[in-house]
Chain A
Amino acid sequence: MIETIRNWILCIIGTTIVCSVITALTPEGTAKRAVKVVCGFAAAIAMLGIITDFDYADYSLYLSLYRLEADETISDALQKSSQQTRFIIEEECEAYILDKANGLGGGLDTVSVTAAWSDEGVWYPARVELSGNMDSEAKEQLTGEIAAELGISQEEQIWSGENET
């Protein structure tokens, strides 16, 4: 596309230079007037040549390539941002569960939350692995609160440790 534009501009300038030289060399009179008319047509044809020579398919492809590059860059950034959001959600949920466990008398050593991608297009806590020495009543209460407040079902709560269920 650039080559086409470049050739078009050089064609206009070249035509003008040649016409100027020919006009300067032509003696005054009818001949000069005729030469000027012909040069005018030549200059007009040179200027309008871009309309017929321009490759619209190439122009479209040229634009599409830039758009593709932009979309790939944005898509990559959004993916990384999504991962960042996922990490924050998992950390927040882990902190929330530990806080709840401390409120029930403690005994919870480690928590690991795994987020999943929902149909609505957001990350949500889907699974949790817990380990510690909580008594059964506290564990049952904590399990219930995790299911009710974080939406993680009992089946997806994996306990490990001495009092494993």
Chain B
Amino acid sequence: MFKTILKIFVVFAVLLVLPCSYAMASSKVDEDDYLGVEELEKNVPESASSMLEGVNIDESLDAGGAIGNILGKAVGQIGEILRSTASGAVGVLAATALCSIASGIYSQSSKMSDAINLVGVVVIAVSSISGIDSLISVASETINETGAFSKILLPVLASASAITGSAASSAAKYAASILFIDLLMTIGERIVLPLIYMYVGVSVASAAFGGNIGGIAKLIAKTVKLILTAIAIAFTIYLTVTGLVASSADAATVKVTKTAISTFLPVVGSLISDAADAVASGVSVVKSAAGAFGVLVVCAVCAVPFLRLAISCLMYRAAAALAEPVADSRLSGLIESISNACGMALGLAGTSAVMLLISIISVTKAVTGL
């Protein structure tokens, strides 16, 4: 699970740099905002608006500075996150330690050991259930916010891309992105999150009663991982293939239009061509600025939730590692299962964010210009 978290952060960091380095070249926007850029600025999710104070889609947009600001504010909340998650992990560790001591005292009676183990499981479950619930709610909220924002951002980017000569590919990519983001949101809410709760429940039952129930928990964990992986891979392949197929049509269309202007309208052709270039160049700048803004919003929405989920996951993993040498394997296994549940929630939120970032990069990538 730790490797998965690390992979998500590496991918996130790489995707963060790419569109922002592309967008930082120019930030001037067209005066006529018929692409819906104002609507985009007004609909920034609440959780991100405090991190993006003073950031607008205009010539003053400083993507690098904004990212630094977001990271700074997120890091500033680490202390509070550590305090809240550490209390849960320490409580769990304390319960495990007490059970270990009690088991040591009554080691000669297996029934007593089982009863102590059962009490330990109940205490761990009760003390961590509210924490798990709030973490899963954080993941759910993150998915909903990124999904809702994507429905406003992607039409702006797709429209801008269409105007700059990528009508076919931007329509195809926009449709694919919205389809898969909707699919992820729906599957996340209706399948993955219930499965995570089920995983925690089955893990508690397995720790309490033993037997083959632990295999079911593993199956659920693998199912969640498989669902997220399948959606991410299907999305990437679908987006790539539709983009490749549609972009060849765009290139042909642009070439034909240029030939018609220069051949049939030789004198006024330059005026028409200049007008088309003026619109395309203005919209191109809007596209890059809106794309950079979209990336900043995704970062702002996801920064604190990711930190919270990752720190919780690591805290419970550390607690499981500390409990393993001294406590019953079922108790340390239960704590590790709680860590895995946090990891699954992080994976779900991470998949949503990465898919949106890939969509932004894919839709804003220009094929050819007029």
Contacts and interface: CB of A to CB of B under 8 A. Distances in A.
* A interface, over-half SS: helix
A73 B159 contact: yes
A70 B158 contact: yes
Nearest to B227: A9
B265 A5 contact: no
Contact of B279 (A70, A81, A93): A81
Interface string B203-242: 0000000011101100110010001000000000000000
A105 interface: no
B52 interface: no
Contacts of B227: 9
A96 B183 contact: no
B271 A121 contact: no
Contacts of B275: 85, 88-89, 92, 123
B272 A13 contact: no
Interface string B164-206: 0001001110111011001100110011000100100000000
B155 interface: yes
Contacts of B162: 74, 77-78
Nearest to B182: A66
B212 A92 contact: no
A125 interface: yes
Nearest to A96: B271
B322 interface: no
Interface residues of A, number: 43
Nearest to B269: A122
Contact of B268 (A2, A67, A81, A149): A149
User: In terms of DSSP, what is the predominant structure of the interface of chain B?
Assistant: helix
B44 interface: no
B279 A120 contact: no
A78 B167 contact: yes
Contacts of A16: 216, 219
Interface string B68-104: 0000000000000000000000000000000000000
B43 interface: no
Interface string A96-127: 10000000000000000000000011111100
B215 A20 contact: yes
B17 interface: no
A17 B223 CA distance: 14
A150 interface: yes
A66 B178 contact: yes
A13 B190 contact: no
A122 B260 contact: yes
B299 to A, nearest CB: 25
A2 B186 CA distance: 7
A81 to B, nearest CB: 4
A57 interface: no
B136 interface: no
A87 to B, nearest CB: 9
Contacts of A24: 211-212
A81 B163 CA distance: 7
A49 to B, nearest CB: 15
Contacts of A66: 175-176, 178-179, 182
Contacts of B159: 73-74, 76-77
A79 to B, nearest CB: 10
Contacts of B267: 148-151
Given A24-B211, A73-B174, A74-B170, A85 B223 contact: no
A5 B187 contact: yes
Nearest to B164: A81
A78 B257 CA distance: 15
13 contacts: A2-B187, A6-B190, A13-B220, A20-B215, A69-B178, A76-B159, A77-B35, A84-B32, A92-B271, A93-B271, A124-B272, A148-B267, A150-B267
Given A6-B191, A66-B182, 10 more contacts: A13-B223, A20-B216, A67-B171, A74-B167, A85-B272, A92-B275, A93-B271, A121-B257, A124-B265, A151-B267
